[in-house]
Structure 1
Amino acid sequence: MSKIYVLDTNVLLQDPYAIFSFQKNEVVIPAVVLEEVDSKKRYMDEIGRNARQVSKMIDGLRQQGKLHEKIALHNGGSLRIELNHRSFHQLQDIFVEKTNDNRILAVAKNLSNEEEAKSNGKLVILVSKDTLVRVKADALGLQAEDFLNDRVIEVNDIYNGFLEIYVEKKSLNIFYEKGELMLSDITDQRFYSQQFVILKDVLGSSSSAIGIVDHTTKSLKKLVYDQEQIWGIKPRNVQQTMALELLLRTDIPLVTLAGKAGTGKTLLALAAGLLQTEDFQSYKKLLVARPIVPVGKDIGFLPGEKQEKLRPWMQPIFDNLEYLFNTKKQGELDNILAGMASIEVEALTYIRGRSIPDQYIIIDEAQNLTKHEVKTILTRVGERSKIVLMGDPAQIDHPYLDEYNNGLTYVIERFKEQQIAGHIKLLKGERSGLAQLAADLL
């Protein structure tokens, strides 16, 4: 039996093509949703872009018929703009205020009551990314669901970039001697390009080794930068060792790092970037950027010139640079950066429209980027550049993103099979015992 899906505004603002995600069912958009979408069209961020896209798409569908009556969609379903089920009578004793959320709930409830009165009535389901709207719907006896079609992966299935495999001692000895081990000699399971493998002795001894998958030779190879110390920084755990390998390899132009606060993502990336630009001169410039939360908003309300406005948002970057440069006095870092034209700290707002060749690019807090925004950034990367995207997918500040549909997770999953990309999830916090405990408990 077909169903009726009533869409909340946030579903369309998250995915403008959401109306095509419900197969051969009827999709209903309450009139109040169109009003909310219209109010967002002037925003100069991702929400505004999606609102404009929704408006153009619905306007294009008008060519097929009257939207308030019902039109057919190419996927076999149908779309209707609901104008006649706005009565607030069913809700007035429960939710007094006629807010937009409650008006959407009223439409869904009235439709549900109408369908229940029919002998072959359809099931009405409210779809919203707002948790409280779904809770309210449940209180009214309505079925409500989250919109999950935009999720890149399923729950608890995020690629972490490494595997632990138990092998015989002779395989470990071969790897130590030759620095290489054929994947077919380890196991018949599937490996991704640039995936790390931790080899452990099947008999339980302390012998172990770390290798990285090379799909060209179908083998596991020894790390090039194992236990390398750069700019006074040395990896403190196995995942940091893996991260440093990816950060220093010039043949891997895209690196993604995920991990909780204090796992060393920013410090390792900055140290690797400084080594590559200042010492090795593999790149002309180190560009460090960070989204201003919420992403894309104007920062003009802050006092001062551009750099003074950026400083509060970029302070975590400057904190790590102060540590790497071992500065002691106030203003000393600014003098160093002023004398080093090869280091640029920028907001993502100013990256759009640029072409960035021959640069080591670090994008911090990438979990707050949408799929469209991360695509915009990656398509800015020019020849001979390397880009590092890092963040904590579990710590989202964007109103319409979560751990499974943000830009960082999107890139991790889409590029995990590509030879030009590498990923590692950092597990252990190294900032302090208190910071690690806070990350775990809070």
Structure 2
Amino acid sequence: MAKIYVLDTNVLLQDPYAIYAFDDNEIVIPAVVLEEIDSKKRNMDEIGRHARQVARIMDNLRGKGKLHQKIALENGGSIKVELNHRSFKCLQDTFLEMTNDNRIIAVALNLMKEEEEKEEPRPVILVSKDALVRIKADALGLIAEDFLNDRVINFDDIYSGYEELYVSEESINQFYLDKSLQIKEVTPREYHPNQFILLKSMTNQGSAIGMVDKGGELLLPCLFGHDVTWGIKARNVQQVMSLELLLRSDVDLVTLVGKAGTGKTLLALAAGLMQTEDQKIYKKLLIARPVVPLGKDIGYLPGEKEEKLRPWLQPIYDNLEFLFNTKRSGEIEKILAGISSIQVEAITYIRGRSIPEQFMIIDEAQNLTKHEVKTILTRVGEKTKIVLMGDPQQVDHPYLDEYNNGLTYVVEKMKEQPFSGHVKLAKGERSNLAQIAADLL
């Protein structure tokens, strides 16, 4: 049976093409949604870009007929702009204020009542990314759903980059002796390029870490993961894997996911400094992070660009102070001023650039949208290595979550590529308190 879907503003601002995601059902856009989108169209950010894209899509549909009279879509469904807000009278006893959210709920409620009077009523479903809108709609007897079409994964099964495999003790000995192992000899499973396999003995007599080759047929030993890198040595097996990817010249894209304190930023900075300053593999170390606040924004900041960005980039400076072993305040600034090959800045300034022969680190990438992360990756030039890292469970962006952010998007889309590698770090190494807080709070 065909359904009627009433879309909230946040659905269209998250995905301008959401109207094509409901198959052959009827899509209803309340007029107040167009008003809210209109208020966002001048924003010079991702929300503003999506608002303008929605306006263009709706304008193109006008050529097929009157929007308030229902227009057929190419997927067999239809779309209609609903102008009737009189049903708000039904909500006045429950929700006193005529807010935009309540007006959207009122449209859905009015449509539901109209459908109930028909011989074959169609289900009316309100689709919103706002949990409180869904709760209020449910309290009124409306069916309310989240918009899940933009999710890269549907539940918490993000690709970890490694797997455990129990094999015979002879297979582990053969792996150490031959420096390789035919994967098909120990398991029929297929693995992604640059995926790690933790070989464990069935008799608990040994173990080994191996990395799948580009063709997915051979398991090869780690070459760099156990080395000391700019004074940093891996403390757990996931950090060994991370350093292996960070130090390999044949892996151009590295994604690191993990909770706070797992060592993502420190490992990436150490690997970048060694390959830029010591080995001279790259001409410059570029470190950037999105300017998205945690909690209430602190507003405009005085000073030049460097002074404005310092509060946002302080976590990076903290790690650099640790790696350079600085003791006094302001010492790291003097060191960086004397090393022109290290550049720390916000992602805001990356558009339009071409970045060749650099080691790029993008911190807090979970706060990037799919479009933003695509923009960053398309800036990468020849002989450049880029590292994206963050914690998908700590998203500060208002329209993103752990399932649809840019970091998760890259991890899932790039895991089949021979130039890409990924590790999900699990164990915190900052302190016992930090680890317990990350797990329990």
Q: 1:401 maps to which residue?
A: 400
User: Match of 2:333, as an amino acid?
Assistant: D
Q: CA deviation at 1:299?
A: 9.8
User: 1:399 and 1:305 mapped to 2: Cα distance?
Assistant: 28
Q: Can you list the C-alpha shifts for 1:93-124, whole angstroms capped at 9, x where unaligned?
A: 00000000000000000000110111111100
Q: Can you list the C-alpha shifts for 1:339-396, whole angstroms capped at 9, x where unaligned?
A: 0000000100011111000000000000000000000000000110000000000110
> 1:264-275 to 2 correspondence within 5 Å?
264-275=263-274
User: Match of 1:193, as an amino acid?
Assistant: P
2:33 aligned with 1:33: yes
Q: Is the 8 A contact 2:85 2:103 kept in 1?
A: no
SS of residue paired to 2:210:
strand
> 1:319-334 to 2 correspondence within 5 Å?
319-334=318-333
User: Match of 1:27, as an amino acid?
Assistant: I
Evaluate the alpha carbon distance shift between residue 155 and residue 76 of structure 1 in structure 2; reply closer, same or farther with a 3 A threshold. Answer: same
Evaluate the alpha carbon distance shift between residue 126 and residue 217 of structure 1 in structure 2; reply closer, same or farther with a 3 A threshold. Answer: closer
Gaps of 5+ in 2: none
Q: 1:368 maps to which residue?
A: 367
Q: 2:433 maps to which residue?
A: 434
Q: CA deviation at 1:214?
A: 0.4
User: Match of 2:56, as an amino acid?
Assistant: K
TM-score of the pair, normalised by structure 2: 0.98
Q: 2:164 maps to which residue?
A: 164
Q: 1:259 maps to which residue?
A: 258
Q: CA deviation at 1:185?
A: 1.1
User: 1:149 and 1:200 mapped to 2: Cα distance?
Assistant: 39
TM-score of the pair, normalised by structure 1: 0.98
> 1:38-437 to 2 correspondence within 5 Å?
38-205=38-205, 207-216=206-215, 218-293=217-292, 301-437=300-436
| Paired residues, number | 439
User: Match of 2:424, as an amino acid?
Assistant: K
Evaluate the alpha carbon distance shift between residue 292 and residue 217 of structure 1 in structure 2; reply closer, same or farther with a 3 A threshold. Answer: closer
Q: CA deviation at 1:126?
A: 0.1
Q: CA deviation at 1:154?
A: 1.7
User: 1:156 and 1:204 mapped to 2: Cα distance?
Assistant: 30
Q: 2:22 maps to which residue?
A: 22
User: 2:348 and 2:293 mapped to 1: Cα distance?
Assistant: 11
What's the Cα RMSD here? 1.2
Q: Is the 8 A contact 1:125 1:143 kept in 2?
A: yes
User: 1:440 and 1:294 mapped to 2: Cα distance?
Assistant: 23
Q: Is the 8 A contact 1:300 1:309 kept in 2?
A: no
Q: Is the 8 A contact 2:191 2:216 kept in 1?
A: no
> Which consecutive segments of 4 or more residues in structure 1 shift more than 3 A?
none
Q: CA deviation at 1:84?
A: 2.2
Q: Is the 8 A contact 2:255 2:421 kept in 1?
A: yes
Q: CA deviation at 1:87?
A: 2.5
User: 2:424 and 2:135 mapped to 1: Cα distance?
Assistant: 34
User: 1:8 and 1:101 mapped to 2: Cα distance?
Assistant: 8
Q: CA deviation at 1:62?
A: 0.2
Evaluate the alpha carbon distance shift between residue 96 and residue 299 of structure 1 in structure 2; reply closer, same or farther with a 3 A threshold. Answer: closer
User: 2:215 and 2:24 mapped to 1: Cα distance?
Assistant: 44
Q: Is the 8 A contact 1:259 1:265 kept in 2?
A: yes
SS of residue paired to 1:68:
helix
User: 1:355 and 1:215 mapped to 2: Cα distance?
Assistant: 27
Gaps of 5+ in 1: none
User: 2:57 and 2:138 mapped to 1: Cα distance?
Assistant: 31
